[in-house]
Amino acid sequence: MKNVIFVLMLLAAAVLLFVFGPPVFGADEKPKTIDFTQVLIGVDGKALFNPETKVTLTLGEVAITALETMNQEDRDMPGAKKFQMDELARKIHGNKAAVLPVEDITLIKERIGKAYGPMVVGPAWRLLDPATEQKK
């Protein structure tokens, strides 16, 4: 009797995994369209500026800088990964409607998180993933 219950529980778990598995594991996440020309807005509601150029900071400028700038952790990064990041930077440059898979958005968020402080990370992440605010 215990074996039958165990088999039924396994079967139920398999059915649940089959039915609900893709959303849980991210398989249903569709590519998103992002406007990389958007200006980053600070906590005061005003546009952020590049302190060197005095030009407004765009999501694209921040993302490209984060993708193209190597930090100490990147010293041993394989050339293929560096090439992938350069290809992504070229894809988003000046793009008002870049269609990116979730993996690319995640990579950009990680790179921005390493390259910038909270003043830039916050607005950039909110533009890359509007659900970020809801995940608090």
Mean pLDDT of 22-27: 46
Q: What's phi and psi for 95, nearest 5 deg?
A: -90, 120
Find, among 98, 119, 96, the residue nearest to 49 by Cα: 119
Average pLDDT, the chain: 84
Cβ-count burial 93-111 (b if 16+ within 10 Å, e if not): eebeebebeeebbebbbeb
Q: What is the pLDDT of residue 7?
A: 44
The reported pLDDT for the residue numbered 12 is 52
Amino acid (1-letter code) at residue 51: P
Average pLDDT of the segment spanning 22-35: 69
Residue 98 has pLDDT above 70, yes or no: yes
Taking residues 119-128, report their average pLDDT: 96
* Residue 27, phi then psi, degrees to nearest 5: -70, -20
